[in-house]
Protein backbone atom coordinates (compact mmCIF):
# COMPACT_ATOMS: atom_id res chain seq x y z
CA UNK A 1 0.00 0.00 0.00
CA UNK A 2 1.29 3.44 -0.89
CA UNK A 3 2.28 5.36 2.25
CA UNK A 4 0.57 8.63 3.16
CA UNK A 5 3.84 10.45 2.58
CA UNK A 6 4.17 9.17 -0.99
CA UNK A 7 0.49 9.82 -1.63
CA UNK A 8 0.83 13.43 -0.44
CA UNK A 9 3.91 13.96 -2.57
CA UNK A 10 2.13 12.59 -5.60
CA UNK A 11 -1.07 14.57 -5.32
CA UNK A 12 0.56 17.86 -4.35
CA UNK A 13 2.49 17.94 -7.59
CA UNK A 14 -0.79 17.89 -9.49
CA UNK A 15 -2.56 20.85 -7.88
CA UNK A 16 -5.34 22.27 -10.01
CA UNK A 17 -5.37 25.96 -10.86
CA UNK A 18 -8.86 27.38 -10.61
CA UNK A 19 -10.11 30.89 -11.24
CA UNK A 20 -10.76 33.03 -8.16
CA UNK A 21 -14.24 33.04 -6.72
CA UNK A 22 -15.24 35.41 -3.89
CA UNK A 23 -15.17 33.99 -0.38
CA UNK A 24 -18.50 32.93 1.04
CA UNK A 25 -19.35 34.69 4.28
CA UNK A 26 -20.18 32.87 7.49
CA UNK A 27 -23.80 32.72 8.53
CA UNK A 28 -24.95 36.02 9.97
CA UNK A 29 -26.50 34.28 12.92
CA UNK A 30 -25.83 30.75 14.08
CA UNK A 31 -26.89 29.11 17.33
CA UNK A 32 -24.01 27.31 19.01
CA UNK A 33 -23.35 26.34 22.61
CA UNK A 34 -20.29 27.20 24.66
CA UNK A 35 -19.92 25.93 28.23
CA UNK A 36 -23.62 25.21 28.22
CA UNK A 37 -24.57 28.77 27.31
CA UNK A 38 -26.20 29.55 23.95
CA UNK A 39 -24.15 31.77 21.66
CA UNK A 40 -25.97 33.59 18.92
CA UNK A 41 -23.70 35.29 16.45
CA UNK A 42 -21.44 34.70 13.48
CA UNK A 43 -19.64 31.37 13.39
CA UNK A 44 -16.61 30.51 11.26
CA UNK A 45 -17.17 27.19 9.52
CA UNK A 46 -13.88 25.34 9.22
CA UNK A 47 -12.64 22.34 7.27
CA UNK A 48 -9.51 20.66 8.60
CA UNK A 49 -7.01 19.45 6.02
CA UNK A 50 -4.81 16.68 7.37
CA UNK A 51 -6.40 14.35 9.93
CA UNK A 52 -3.29 13.34 11.87
CA UNK A 53 -2.59 13.73 15.57
CA UNK A 54 -2.52 17.53 15.59
CA UNK A 55 -5.56 17.80 13.35
CA UNK A 56 -7.37 15.59 15.87
CA UNK A 57 -6.21 17.83 18.73
CA UNK A 58 -7.62 20.88 16.97
CA UNK A 59 -10.90 19.11 16.20
CA UNK A 60 -11.35 18.08 19.84
CA UNK A 61 -10.56 21.60 21.04
CA UNK A 62 -13.10 23.08 18.63
CA UNK A 63 -15.90 21.22 20.42
CA UNK A 64 -15.70 24.02 23.02
CA UNK A 65 -15.43 26.93 20.59
CA UNK A 66 -18.23 29.46 20.45
CA UNK A 67 -17.25 31.26 17.23
CA UNK A 68 -15.71 28.41 15.21
CA UNK A 69 -17.22 25.11 14.15
CA UNK A 70 -15.76 22.07 12.40
CA UNK A 71 -17.88 21.50 9.30
CA UNK A 72 -15.62 19.72 6.81
CA UNK A 73 -12.59 17.47 6.33
CA UNK A 74 -9.92 17.01 3.67
CA UNK A 75 -7.82 13.85 3.78
CA UNK A 76 -6.11 11.28 1.61
CA UNK A 77 -7.18 8.46 3.93
CA UNK A 78 -10.82 7.39 3.38
CA UNK A 79 -10.97 5.44 6.66
CA UNK A 80 -10.05 8.58 8.62
CA UNK A 81 -12.73 10.55 6.81
CA UNK A 82 -15.35 7.96 7.79
CA UNK A 83 -14.20 8.03 11.40
CA UNK A 84 -14.38 11.82 11.54
CA UNK A 85 -17.80 11.86 9.90
CA UNK A 86 -19.10 9.62 12.64
CA UNK A 87 -17.29 11.37 15.49
CA UNK A 88 -17.97 14.97 14.51
CA UNK A 89 -21.21 14.69 12.54
CA UNK A 90 -19.71 15.84 9.23
CA UNK A 91 -21.95 15.26 6.19
CA UNK A 92 -20.63 13.46 3.11
CA UNK A 93 -20.97 16.60 0.97
CA UNK A 94 -18.35 18.34 3.18
CA UNK A 95 -15.71 15.61 2.78
CA UNK A 96 -12.91 15.94 0.25
CA UNK A 97 -9.58 14.39 -0.71
CA UNK A 98 -6.37 16.07 -1.82
CA UNK A 99 -7.27 15.78 -5.49
CA UNK A 100 -10.79 17.25 -5.42
CA UNK A 101 -10.74 19.77 -2.56
CA UNK A 102 -10.75 22.67 -5.03
CA UNK A 103 -14.50 21.97 -5.15
CA UNK A 104 -14.91 23.64 -1.76
CA UNK A 105 -15.41 26.79 -3.85
CA UNK A 106 -19.00 25.64 -4.35
CA UNK A 107 -19.63 24.71 -0.72
CA UNK A 108 -21.30 27.40 1.45
CA UNK A 109 -20.77 25.24 4.56
CA UNK A 110 -17.02 25.99 4.55
CA UNK A 111 -15.59 29.46 5.14
CA UNK A 112 -11.98 28.55 5.98
CA UNK A 113 -9.58 25.63 5.71
CA UNK A 114 -7.02 24.83 8.40
CA UNK A 115 -4.03 23.26 6.63
CA UNK A 116 -2.33 20.79 9.00
CA UNK A 117 -0.11 18.83 6.62
CA UNK A 118 3.68 18.45 6.20
CA UNK A 119 5.47 21.79 5.75
CA UNK A 120 6.52 21.10 2.18
CA UNK A 121 2.89 20.85 1.10
CA UNK A 122 1.65 24.10 2.66
CA UNK A 123 2.38 26.45 -0.21
CA UNK A 124 0.48 24.63 -2.94
CA UNK A 125 -2.40 23.69 -0.66
CA UNK A 126 -2.89 27.19 0.75
CA UNK A 127 -2.76 28.70 -2.74
CA UNK A 128 -5.43 26.24 -3.89
CA UNK A 129 -7.58 27.15 -0.87
CA UNK A 130 -7.22 30.84 -1.73
CA UNK A 131 -8.13 30.24 -5.37
CA UNK A 132 -11.26 28.47 -4.15
CA UNK A 133 -12.20 31.69 -2.37
CA UNK A 134 -11.79 30.39 1.19
CA UNK A 135 -9.78 31.81 4.06
CA UNK A 136 -6.65 29.85 4.93
CA UNK A 137 -5.30 28.97 8.36
CA UNK A 138 -1.91 27.31 8.02
CA UNK A 139 0.05 25.44 10.64
CA UNK A 140 3.56 26.72 11.33
CA UNK A 141 6.05 27.01 9.83
CA UNK A 142 3.95 28.57 7.10
CA UNK A 143 6.23 27.18 4.37
CA UNK A 144 9.73 25.76 3.95
CA UNK A 145 11.35 29.09 3.04
CA UNK A 146 10.55 32.77 2.71
CA UNK A 147 10.15 32.65 -1.07
CA UNK A 148 7.31 30.12 -0.74
CA UNK A 149 5.81 32.11 2.11
CA UNK A 150 5.74 35.24 -0.02
CA UNK A 151 3.90 33.36 -2.77
CA UNK A 152 1.26 32.33 -0.23
CA UNK A 153 0.85 35.86 1.11
CA UNK A 154 0.54 37.23 -2.42
CA UNK A 155 -1.98 34.57 -3.49
CA UNK A 156 -4.25 35.23 -0.51
CA UNK A 157 -4.10 38.98 -1.06
CA UNK A 158 -4.97 38.50 -4.73
CA UNK A 159 -7.92 36.29 -3.77
CA UNK A 160 -9.02 38.76 -1.06
CA UNK A 161 -8.99 36.07 1.63
CA UNK A 162 -7.28 35.97 5.01
CA UNK A 163 -4.10 33.99 5.62
CA UNK A 164 -3.53 33.17 9.30
CA UNK A 165 -0.82 31.02 10.88
CA UNK A 166 -1.32 28.62 13.80
CA UNK A 167 0.54 30.64 16.42
CA UNK A 168 -1.48 29.37 19.40
CA UNK A 169 0.91 30.94 21.95
CA UNK A 170 -0.11 34.41 20.78
CA UNK A 171 -3.39 33.89 22.65
CA UNK A 172 -2.05 32.10 25.75
CA UNK A 173 -2.87 34.07 28.96
CA UNK A 174 0.47 33.81 30.78
CA UNK A 175 2.35 34.70 27.59
CA UNK A 176 0.10 37.72 27.08
CA UNK A 177 0.64 38.82 30.68
CA UNK A 178 4.40 38.90 30.20
CA UNK A 179 3.95 40.87 26.98
CA UNK A 180 1.69 43.30 28.87
CA UNK A 181 4.29 43.72 31.61
CA UNK A 182 7.04 44.32 29.08
CA UNK A 183 4.96 46.92 27.24
CA UNK A 184 4.18 48.61 30.57
CA UNK A 185 7.89 48.90 31.30
CA UNK A 186 7.80 46.59 34.31
CA UNK A 187 11.00 44.82 33.22
CA UNK A 188 12.72 48.07 32.32
CA UNK A 189 15.00 48.04 29.30
CA UNK A 190 15.07 44.51 27.90
CA UNK A 191 18.62 43.16 27.78
CA UNK A 192 18.52 39.42 27.08
CA UNK A 193 16.30 36.55 26.00
CA UNK A 194 17.00 32.84 26.10
CA UNK A 195 14.88 30.27 24.27
CA UNK A 196 15.40 26.52 24.63
CA UNK A 197 13.30 24.36 22.33
CA UNK A 198 13.89 20.65 21.85
CA UNK A 199 12.99 17.02 22.33
CA UNK A 200 14.33 13.63 21.26
CA UNK A 201 12.63 12.65 18.02
CA UNK A 202 11.77 9.02 17.35
CA UNK A 203 11.04 7.16 14.10
CA UNK A 204 13.71 8.16 11.53
CA UNK A 205 11.26 7.38 8.70
CA UNK A 206 8.75 10.06 9.68
CA UNK A 207 8.11 13.07 7.44
CA UNK A 208 9.68 15.50 9.93
CA UNK A 209 13.09 14.01 9.02
CA UNK A 210 12.41 14.17 5.28
CA UNK A 211 14.03 17.27 3.78
CA UNK A 212 11.49 17.57 0.96
CA UNK A 213 8.46 17.40 3.23
CA UNK A 214 9.83 19.17 6.33
CA UNK A 215 12.16 21.75 4.78
CA UNK A 216 14.79 20.95 7.40
CA UNK A 217 14.83 19.30 10.79
CA UNK A 218 14.41 20.53 14.35
CA UNK A 219 14.45 24.22 13.35
CA UNK A 220 11.29 23.88 11.26
CA UNK A 221 9.44 21.92 13.93
CA UNK A 222 10.51 23.09 17.39
CA UNK A 223 13.15 25.80 16.86
CA UNK A 224 10.58 28.13 15.34
CA UNK A 225 9.09 28.52 18.83
CA UNK A 226 12.28 30.15 20.10
CA UNK A 227 12.50 32.35 17.00
CA UNK A 228 8.93 33.56 17.35
CA UNK A 229 9.20 33.74 21.14
CA UNK A 230 12.30 35.93 20.98
CA UNK A 231 10.36 38.39 18.83
CA UNK A 232 7.24 38.67 20.99
CA UNK A 233 9.10 38.52 24.32
CA UNK A 234 11.69 41.17 23.41
CA UNK A 235 9.13 43.19 21.45
CA UNK A 236 11.46 44.03 18.58
CA UNK A 237 12.47 42.57 15.24
CA UNK A 238 16.02 41.18 15.08
CA UNK A 239 18.55 42.84 12.78
CA UNK A 240 21.23 40.13 12.68
CA UNK A 241 21.70 36.43 13.35
CA UNK A 242 24.61 34.07 13.91
CA UNK A 243 24.28 30.29 14.16
CA UNK A 244 26.20 27.06 14.68
CA UNK A 245 25.11 23.50 13.91
CA UNK A 246 25.99 20.28 15.71
CA UNK A 247 25.25 16.90 14.14
CA UNK A 248 26.04 13.69 16.03
CA UNK A 249 23.94 11.25 13.98
CA UNK A 250 24.29 11.86 10.22
CA UNK A 251 22.45 8.62 9.46
CA UNK A 252 19.29 9.80 11.16
CA UNK A 253 19.76 13.50 10.33
CA UNK A 254 20.75 13.48 6.69
CA UNK A 255 21.96 16.37 4.55
CA UNK A 256 19.67 19.35 4.95
CA UNK A 257 17.99 17.96 8.08
CA UNK A 258 19.32 19.80 11.13
CA UNK A 259 19.75 17.97 14.42
CA UNK A 260 20.90 20.77 16.76
CA UNK A 261 21.41 24.46 16.02
CA UNK A 262 22.41 27.18 18.44
CA UNK A 263 21.59 30.66 17.19
CA UNK A 264 21.90 34.21 18.38
CA UNK A 265 19.79 37.23 17.48
CA UNK A 266 20.61 40.92 17.82
CA UNK A 267 17.95 43.62 18.22
CA UNK A 268 17.99 47.38 17.46
CA UNK A 269 17.94 48.31 21.16
CA UNK A 270 21.07 46.28 21.83
CA UNK A 271 19.18 43.35 23.37
CA UNK A 272 20.45 39.91 22.38
CA UNK A 273 18.92 36.44 22.27
CA UNK A 274 20.62 33.08 22.68
CA UNK A 275 18.57 30.09 21.54
CA UNK A 276 18.82 26.34 21.08
CA UNK A 277 16.85 24.13 18.69
CA UNK A 278 17.35 20.37 18.89
CA UNK A 279 15.93 16.95 18.10
CA UNK A 280 18.29 15.09 20.47
CA UNK A 281 17.59 16.48 23.95
CA UNK A 282 14.50 16.37 26.12
CA UNK A 283 13.31 18.77 28.84
CA UNK A 284 13.95 21.84 26.69
CA UNK A 285 10.92 24.12 26.72
CA UNK A 286 12.04 27.29 28.49
CA UNK A 287 11.94 31.03 27.86
CA UNK A 288 13.80 33.56 29.99
CA UNK A 289 13.60 37.33 29.60
CA UNK A 290 15.89 39.66 31.53
CA UNK A 291 15.57 43.42 31.87
CA UNK A 292 17.11 46.18 33.94
CA UNK A 293 14.23 46.11 36.45
CA UNK A 294 13.08 42.50 36.42
CA UNK A 295 12.73 39.16 34.68
CA UNK A 296 10.25 36.63 33.35
CA UNK A 297 10.67 32.88 33.14
CA UNK A 298 8.38 30.32 31.49
CA UNK A 299 8.88 26.57 31.82
CA UNK A 300 7.15 24.94 30.05
CA UNK A 301 6.88 27.88 27.69
CA UNK A 302 5.27 26.54 24.52
CA UNK A 303 3.94 23.04 25.25
CA UNK A 304 0.24 22.23 25.12
CA UNK A 305 -0.02 23.14 28.77
CA UNK A 306 -0.37 24.01 31.40
CA UNK A 307 2.19 26.74 30.80
CA UNK A 308 4.02 27.76 33.96
CA UNK A 309 5.55 31.19 34.48
CA UNK A 310 6.96 33.54 37.05
CA UNK A 311 8.43 37.01 37.11
CA UNK A 312 10.28 39.14 39.65
CA UNK A 313 6.79 40.05 40.91
CA UNK A 314 5.80 36.42 41.60
CA UNK A 315 4.08 33.41 40.04
CA UNK A 316 1.71 33.80 37.11
CA UNK A 317 -1.59 32.26 38.18
CA UNK A 318 -3.80 32.60 35.12
CA UNK A 319 -5.92 29.44 34.71
CA UNK A 320 -4.98 27.01 31.96
CA UNK A 321 -7.11 27.14 28.84
CA UNK A 322 -6.95 24.77 25.90
CA UNK A 323 -4.74 26.63 23.47
CA UNK A 324 -6.43 25.49 20.29
CA UNK A 325 -9.92 26.37 21.56
CA UNK A 326 -8.88 29.94 22.29
CA UNK A 327 -6.88 30.13 19.05
CA UNK A 328 -9.79 29.11 16.85
CA UNK A 329 -12.26 31.43 18.59
CA UNK A 330 -9.81 34.33 18.30
CA UNK A 331 -9.09 33.55 14.66
CA UNK A 332 -12.82 33.49 13.99
CA UNK A 333 -12.95 36.96 15.51
CA UNK A 334 -10.14 38.12 13.25
CA UNK A 335 -11.81 36.77 10.11
CA UNK A 336 -15.43 37.61 10.92
CA UNK A 337 -15.10 40.78 12.97
CA UNK A 338 -11.74 42.24 12.01
CA UNK A 339 -10.33 41.82 15.54
CA UNK A 340 -6.69 42.77 16.02
CA UNK A 341 -4.69 40.35 18.21
CA UNK A 342 -2.03 41.58 20.64
CA UNK A 343 0.57 39.67 18.62
CA UNK A 344 -0.14 39.24 14.88
CA UNK A 345 -0.96 35.80 13.46
CA UNK A 346 -1.20 36.79 9.79
CA UNK A 347 0.85 35.66 6.82
CA UNK A 348 3.26 38.57 7.19
CA UNK A 349 4.05 37.36 10.72
CA UNK A 350 4.73 33.88 9.42
CA UNK A 351 6.89 35.30 6.65
CA UNK A 352 9.15 37.07 9.17
CA UNK A 353 9.90 33.80 10.94
CA UNK A 354 10.71 32.16 7.60
CA UNK A 355 13.15 34.96 6.74
CA UNK A 356 14.90 34.38 10.04
CA UNK A 357 15.03 30.61 9.45
CA UNK A 358 16.53 31.21 6.00
CA UNK A 359 19.14 33.48 7.61
CA UNK A 360 19.93 30.91 10.32
CA UNK A 361 20.60 28.23 7.71
CA UNK A 362 22.78 30.71 5.78
CA UNK A 363 24.69 31.63 8.94
CA UNK A 364 25.32 27.94 9.67
CA UNK A 365 26.63 27.40 6.14
CA UNK A 366 28.75 30.55 5.93
CA UNK A 367 29.90 30.82 9.53
CA UNK A 368 29.24 34.55 9.33
CA UNK A 369 26.83 37.04 10.87
CA UNK A 370 23.84 37.53 8.57
CA UNK A 371 21.98 40.84 8.49
CA UNK A 372 18.18 40.73 8.70
CA UNK A 373 15.66 43.07 7.14
CA UNK A 374 12.17 42.09 8.23
- Tell me the per-residue pLDDT of 77-128, one tens digit each, with 9 for 90 and over: 999 999 999 999 999 999 999 999 999 999 999 999 999 999 999 999 999 9
**Average pLDDT, integer, range 302-307:** 96
Strand pairing report for 284-291 and 190-198: antiparallel
pLDDT band at 35, cuts 50/70/90? low
CA 285 – CA 298 distance, rounded (Å): 8
Greatest extent of the chain over all pairs of C-alpha atoms, in Å: 60
CA 374 – CA 372 distance, rounded (Å): 6
Q: Does 48 score more than 60 pLDDT?
A: yes
What is the DSSP annotation of 316-354?
--PPP--HHHHHHHHHHHHHHH----SS--BHHHHHHHH
Annotated catalytic residue 88 = no
- Of 80, 59, 79, which is closest to residue 71 (Cα–Cα)? 59
CA 132 – CA 46 distance, rounded (Å): 14
Residue 57 falls within a domain, yes or no? yes
Number of Cβ within a 10 Å radius of residue 368:
10
pLDDT band at 18, cuts 50/70/90? very low
- Residue ending a domain, choose from 143, 167, 191: 167
Q: Residues 233, 257: one domain?
A: yes
What is the CATH number for 215?
3.30.360.10
Query: Which pLDDT score is estimated for 36?
Result: 58
Residue 293 falls within a domain, yes or no? yes
Give just the sign of the alpha carbon dihedral 48, 198, 306, 232. negative
Residue 329 falls within a domain, yes or no? no
Residue 17 falls within a domain, yes or no? yes
**Average pLDDT, integer, range 130-135:** 98
Number of Cβ within a 10 Å radius of residue 73:
25
Contacts of 294 (CB under 8 A, 6+ apart): 181, 186, 187, 188, 311, 312, 313
Annotated catalytic residue 225 = yes
User: What three-state secondary structure class fits 25?
Assistant: coil
- Residue ending a domain, choose from 167, 202, 234: 167
Q: Does 30 score more than 80 pLDDT?
A: no
- Tell me the per-residue pLDDT of 182-205, one tens digit each, with 9 for 90 and over: 999 999 999 999 999 999 999 999
Query: Which pLDDT score is estimated for 39?
Result: 80
pLDDT band at 37, cuts 50/70/90? low
Residue percentage of the chain with pLDDT more than 90: 89
Query: Which pLDDT score is estimated for 163?
Result: 99
What is the CATH number for 10?
3.40.50.720
Q: Residues 42, 78: one domain?
A: yes
Order of strands, sheet of 163-165, starting from the edge strand that comes earlier in the sequence: 95-96, 68-74, 44-49, 112-115, 135-138, 163-165
Strand pairing report for 240-246 and 260-266: antiparallel
Q: Residues 102, 52: one domain?
A: yes
Q: What range does the domain containing 131 cover? A: 4-167
CA 264 – CA 72 distance, rounded (Å): 42
Q: Residues 20, 43: one domain?
A: yes
Residue 338 falls within a domain, yes or no? no
Q: Residues 74, 210: one domain?
A: no
Q: Which residues pair with 295 in a beta bridge?
A: 290
Burial of 1 by CB count in 10 Å (0-12 exposed, 13-18 middle, 19+ buried)?
exposed
CA 274 – CA 25 distance, rounded (Å): 44
Q: Residues 177, 111: one domain?
A: no
Q: Residues 207, 146: one domain?
A: no
Q: Where are the alpha helices (DSSP H) in the chain?
A: 4-12, 53-61, 78-88, 122-131, 146-159, 173-183, 211-214, 218, 224-234, 323-337, 347-366
Contact 187, 359 (CB under 8 A): no
**Average pLDDT, integer, range 238-243:** 98
Q: Does 43 score more than 60 pLDDT?
A: yes
Q: Does 304 score more than 80 pLDDT?
A: yes
pLDDT band at 6, cuts 50/70/90? very low
Out of 140, 174, 352, 355, the active site residue is 140
Q: C-alpha 269: how far from its chain's center?
A: 27
Query: Which pLDDT score is estimated for 9?
Result: 42
Query: Which pLDDT score is estimated for 216?
Result: 98
Q: Does 52 score more than 90 pLDDT?
A: yes
Out of 96, 167, 225, 232, the active site residue is 225
Q: Into how many domains does the chain fold?
A: 2
Q: Residues 181, 105: one domain?
A: no
**Average pLDDT, integer, range 339-363:** 98
Q: Residues 22, 125: one domain?
A: yes
Q: Does 34 score more than 60 pLDDT?
A: no
Query: Which pLDDT score is estimated for 8?
Result: 43
CA 50 – CA 42 distance, rounded (Å): 25
Query: Which pLDDT score is estimated for 38?
Result: 76
CA 73 – CA 92 distance, rounded (Å): 10
- Tell me the per-residue pLDDT of 252-287, one tens digit each, with 9 for 90 and over: 999 999 999 999 999 999 999 999 999 999 999 999
Q: Which residues pair with 264 in a beta bridge?
A: 242, 274
Q: Residues 294, 178: one domain?
A: yes
- Of 353, 12, 330, which is closest to residue 153 (Cα–Cα)? 353
Backbone phi, psi, residue 314, to 5°: 125, -175
Residue 337 falls within a domain, yes or no? no
Q: Does 152 score more than 50 pLDDT?
A: yes
Amino acid sequence: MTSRRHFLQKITASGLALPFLPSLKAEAEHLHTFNGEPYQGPVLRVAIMGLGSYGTRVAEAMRDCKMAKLTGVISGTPSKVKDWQSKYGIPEKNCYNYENFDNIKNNPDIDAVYVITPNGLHKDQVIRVAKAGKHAICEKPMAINAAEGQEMVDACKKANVKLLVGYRMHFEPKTLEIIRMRKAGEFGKVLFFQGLSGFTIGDPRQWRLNKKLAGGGAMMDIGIYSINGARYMVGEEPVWVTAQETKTNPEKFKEGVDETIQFQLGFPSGAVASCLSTYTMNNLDRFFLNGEKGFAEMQPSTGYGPIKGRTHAGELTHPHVTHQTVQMDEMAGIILQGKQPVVPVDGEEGLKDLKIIDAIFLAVKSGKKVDLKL
